[in-house]
Amino acid sequence: MRNWRTGTGKREDEMTNCLFCKIISKKVPAKIIFEDEGVLAFEDIDPQAPVHTLVVPKKHIATTLDISNEDDALIGRLFQTAGKIAKEKGIAERGFRLVVNTNPEAGQEVYHIHLHLLGGRHMHWPPG
């Protein structure tokens, strides 16, 4: 549905209402631990492990199903950034888990893709 005031479409409406876009634009505070031109990483507000960091693209992409070819490098950067943070936090060699939830049955709550970087404790399999 197009926005009658701005003439722009759904994507802009989604961004306006998106919690992680608000964190990226610093309208909502977060404990930011890494930032570059394309990626932001901040601590999860409700950590499920001793390390629980969220790594997000600055570009609003709602779910993994919305990733396009032009996002290839950006998605690579997300994983690379998660690995760097894991090393900095001293969990790279012990091990860590990267999780991306997609849509309701997976428990996606925020519709702006994010890598959950989880570590610092033993991770169970299968996940819940």
- Gap between the Cα atoms of 24 and 39, Å rounded: 9
Nearest to Zn ion of 21, 85 (CB atom) = 21
Interface segment toward Zn ion; rule CB under 5 A; list 33-41, 56-64, 75-83, 93-101:
56-64
Residues 28-47, mask of contacts with ligand AMP (x by CB under 6 A): x-x-----------x-xxx-
Residue 18 sits in the site that holds Zn ion (CB under 5 A) = yes
d(CA 84, CA 29): 23
What backbone torsions phi and psi does residue 52 show, to the nearest 5 degrees?
Answer: -145, 95
In the set 1, 109, 122, 128, which binds ligand AMP (CB under 6 A)? 109
Residue of 25, 50, 59, 30 lying closest to 42 (CA atoms):
30
